Amino acid sequence: MLGQVNRANLADDYRKMYKEYAVTGILKKETMTKISSLINVRYFALLNLGQFTAGSSGRFGLLGLRIVDTKYSNIRLFLQIWDGHTGAIAWEGMVELNYSNETLSEDPITFRQVIEESAKLMIKKIP
């Protein structure tokens, strides 16, 4: 898609649209309509990462050694689905996930694991 936008000389419009979105929370209808026609899609999904934290805490130790760790992560995602023909938000939703597990290993909870779980929850919310 980005290659098509660039080949059609819409890169500046695309950049301006996202820059304005950061300030206003609005995607410019004229630019969305051009891109929608160019790539032959009606709806655009706009995903925003609101927060991501990860860490661990010792739960059980013996003689100064941690034996069991609690690994945790928190993520907040916002999803908007925009109508490229009308410029309106067709749907929007938010998901916040607190993910944790107790483990004997040193393996962290990965960003990918948390994103996948969050995506599953978000998809269930879409009508």
Provide the pLDDT for residue 104: 57
Residue by residue, pLDDT tens for the chain (127 residues) are 889 999 999 999 999 999 999 999 999 999 999 999 999 999 999 999 888 887 776 655 555 555 667 778 889 999 999 999 999 999 999 999 887 776 655 666 778 888 888 889 999 998 8
Q: What is the pTM of this model?
A: 0.76
3-state secondary structure string across 36-55: HHHHCCCEEEEEEEEEEEEE
**Residue 18 C-beta-side C-alpha neighbours within 13 Å:** 10
pLDDT of the residue at 105: 59
> What was the pLDDT predicted at 83?
96
